[in-house]
Amino acid sequence: MFQRYVPSKTLQPYIAFYYTIKCRKSDYDYIISEYSLPNGFGYMGFHSCGSFYIFQNNKIKELPRFYTVGQQTQHYYINSDSDLVDFYGVGLQPTGLWHLFGLDMPTITDSVIATTCLFRNDFQKFTKQFDSLKEVAPKIKLIENLLLHELLTAQPQLNVIDSAIQKINETYGCCSLTEITSGLGISPRYFQKKFKKMVGITPTAFKRIIRFNFMFAEIQPDSHIDYQSLSALCNYYDFPHFSKDFKKYCGACPSKFHIDKFHFLQEVITSKVLLGK
């Protein structure tokens, strides 16, 4: 259902992974519906067959056939009324969209834009090629070539914000902002402003998302969940702070959360990266 693929080394500073999703409505009770958490990545989606839409805060966000989304700050559902969905996606590093396209990232936080407006080359040609290909590997390679062309045009340079994100990931979101700014030799004010411009959310919000995803990955479906220990492991100040984040990102307090309902999310978190494109 879900497979993840590694990008070329040249693109890895900007692209975290490619992925595919294939699902049938007949495998669900009513419509295709999968729960998702904010995770710190930006995304591009390419529908090969069928289509998804986002259901969040009791509102529907329609997704163009080729779409791009920035940071998500709340949980949401990926839904579809299609009988079959064959989908190709790109998980971008937190600063990937800024580096490759120069986007003002706060404007696309929790928002969707059409990917067709981002690329400088002929997207009609890409669409024809994408539709003509039947196998997974050539389609992913085509998407990669589209991004490589953009990389060569943009010629981005990594900076202190990328270094800060690396530090946040290495510490599972548990480092302090003072540690980051003093380690990089930059002022807190500059850091806050530059981070939000490049990522779309504040560094504090980003750290919370990374920390929560690390915590969620530790939950085992077939075992007792000790939330008190998890909150301590993830360096939460106290259990109420942990419970607040849990409800924000999972839509329910820990005592009412049932991990067995989130098979797809567990599959996404634990999926292995495939090398062969």
For 160-264, CATH gives: 1.10.10.60
Query: What pLDDT, on a 0 to 100 scale, did the predictor assign at position 267?
Result: 64
**Residue 92 or 119, more confident:** 92
**What's the pTM?**
0.90
The class that CATH gives domain 2-156 is mainly beta
As a whole number of angstroms, the distance between CA 31 and CA 64 comes to: 19
Q: What is the pLDDT of residue 238?
A: 76
State mean pLDDT over 41-52.
97
Q: What is the bridge-based pairing of β-strands 84-92 and 15-24?
A: antiparallel
Question: What does the pLDDT look like over 23-33, one tens digit per residue?
Answer: 999 999 899 99
* Residue 177 pLDDT exceeds 80: yes
DSSP 62-76: E--SEEEE----S-E
- Rounded Cα distance between 21 and 84, Å, is 10
With CA atoms as reference, report the closest residue to 193 among 183, 203, 185, 184. 203
pLDDT surpassing 50 at residue 277: no
In the predicted structure, residue 181 carries a pLDDT above the cut 90 = yes
pLDDT band for 57, please (50, 70, 90 cuts). Answer: confident
% of residues, the chain, pLDDT over 90: 66
- pLDDT of 65 above 70: yes
DSSP of the chain: -EEEEPPPTTTTTTEEEEEEEEEEGGGSSSSEEEEE---S-EEEEEEEES--EEEETTEEEE--SEEEE----S-EEEEE-SSEEEEEEEEE-TTHHHHHH---GGGGTT-EEEGGGT-SS-HHHHHHHHHH--SHHHHHHHHHHHHHHHHHHH-----HHHHHHHHHHHTTT-S-HHHHHHHHT--HHHHHHHHHHHHSS-HHHHHHHHHHHHHHHT--TTS---HHHHHHHTT-SSHHHHHHHHHHHHSS-GGG--GGG-HHHHHHHHPPEE---
Dist CA 159 CA 69 (whole Å) = 23
- How far is it, in rounded angstroms, from Cα 231 to Cα 242? 6
Q: How do residues 107-146 score in pLDDT, each as one tens digit?
A: 999 999 999 999 866 788 999 999 999 999 999 999 999 9
Residue 20 and residue 63 in contact, taking contact as beta carbons nearer than 8 Å: no
Domain residues of the chain, as ranges?
2-156, 160-264
Contact 177, 51 (CB under 8 A): no
Distance between CA atoms of 247 and 242, rounded to whole angstroms?
9
Look at residue 183 and tell me whether its pLDDT is greater than 80: yes
Residue 51: C-alpha distances to residues 32, 102, 110, 160 (Å): 10, 27, 19, 38
Give the model's pLDDT for residue 276.
Answer: 45
pLDDT in tens, 225-266: 777 777 777 777 777 778 888 878 877 777 666 666 666 666
Q: What is the mean pLDDT of the chain?
A: 89
Tell me, what's the pLDDT at 218? 77
